[in-house]
């Protein structure tokens, strides 16, 4: 079962195009440690992308409800 995580990048780790626009933090979606989506300028956008990957792969996080 793949591991799907959201990670944050801060400071000089933020891609130059985002830093040029004044962003000093961004988020990426990783699957098994490899970046697959992003960078996102909001954590909410990254979490929404994670939810789509989780739903499409049939993986449920602990505590998630199918009825929520």
Q: Cis omega (within 30 of 0) on the bond before 22?
A: no
State the residue for tokens 């992003």.
Answer: 38
pLDDT number for residue 62? 58
Burial of 7 (0-12, 13-18, 19+ CB in 10 A): middle
d(CA 64, CA 68): 8
Three-state DSSP state, 36: strand
pLDDT number for residue 68? 43
pLDDT over 70 (residue 59): no
Residue 50: pLDDT band (50, 70, 90) is very high
Whether 27 contacts 40, CB under 8 Å: yes
């Amino acid at each position: 079962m793949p591991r799907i995580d959201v990670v944050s990048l801060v400071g000089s780790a933020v891609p130059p195009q985002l830093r040029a626009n004044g962003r000093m933090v961004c988020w990426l979606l990783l699957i098994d440690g490899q970046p697959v989506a992003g960078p996102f300028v909001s954590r909410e956008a990254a979490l929404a992308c994670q939810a789509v990957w989780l739903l499409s792969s049939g993986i449920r996080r602990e505590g998630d409800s199918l009825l929520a």
